[in-house]
Chain A
């Protein structure tokens, strides 16, 4: 709908998005522990997917579908950090240690106190 320019833009966006996804995947493979890997997944991954959804919205050109694509991207942006947060918190409280190369852990003392209050079981 948006003509040539739209096609170029969409093409660019999907290539960039795909590259971000690739980086995230590489990060997922290379980084040393689950917390650091989470950085890759929740940032580069999210951004990559969002870019591709935006490209789709641009390419489709129909308003409602475009809105949905953008809404999907928005929803994704909304949920990705929450998911990352939950997984990080869960991993941490379940006792999955950070990589030996980590330089500090200021959460350690806090966990002790919250465990005492029986908060971890949640629900």
Chain B
């Protein structure tokens, strides 16, 4: 009922948090992890996700890069004497289907340059993205498609 890997993840988080790598502490971590997950048991949707570590790492690196880039770009933008922005919302047709993938993608988009996920359509086919520079939405969509979305699909299949 409660996915074991989540419990293990939380137990590890516990051990790291408390900084005490002892067996009793690990057991305590497992117990607490199981306990808190038990509380949210109904909302855990255990999707069959296989993680490909290498692809996931690539995704993480891509994210780091994009994050820094985005921050720099925003910094440059707001510091420029003339605010030259053409913002707007565009609809991005999603290829990923699973909740967790959509969420991940939306979050990554939000964290990266000039884009911000505003909403997901009810049929989960479309992600509405607010862009700082919406002069060429097609290019922005293309960047997402070959960037984050592809990496996500590679990492979690």
Chain A binding surface, main DSSP class:
helix
Considering the complex, give the chain A residue whose CB is closest to the CB of B107: A81
Q: Is the CB of B79 within 8 A of A26?
A: yes
Q: Is the CB of A39 within 8 A of B128?
A: no
Q: Which residues of chain B from 41 to 99 have any CB-CB distance to chain A below 8 Å in the complex? A: 67-68, 70-71, 74-75, 77-79, 83, 85-91
Considering the complex, give the chain A residue whose CB is closest to the CB of B114: A39
Q: Is the CB of A101 within 8 A of B86?
A: yes
Render A70-101 as a binary contact track against B, CB cut-off 8 A, 1 for contact.
Answer: 01000001101110110011001000001101
Render B122-151 as a binary contact track against A, CB cut-off 8 A, 1 for contact.
Answer: 100010101010110100000000000000
Q: Chain A: residues with CB nearer than 8 A to chain B?
A: 19-20, 23-24, 26-27, 30-33, 35-36, 38-40, 42-44, 46-48, 62-65, 67-68, 71, 77-78, 80-82, 84-85, 88-89, 92, 98-99, 101-107, 110, 114, 117, 119
Q: Chain B: residues with CB nearer than 8 A to chain A?
A: 13, 16-20, 67-68, 70-71, 74-75, 77-79, 83, 85-91, 106-114, 116-119, 121-122, 126, 128, 130, 132, 134-135, 137
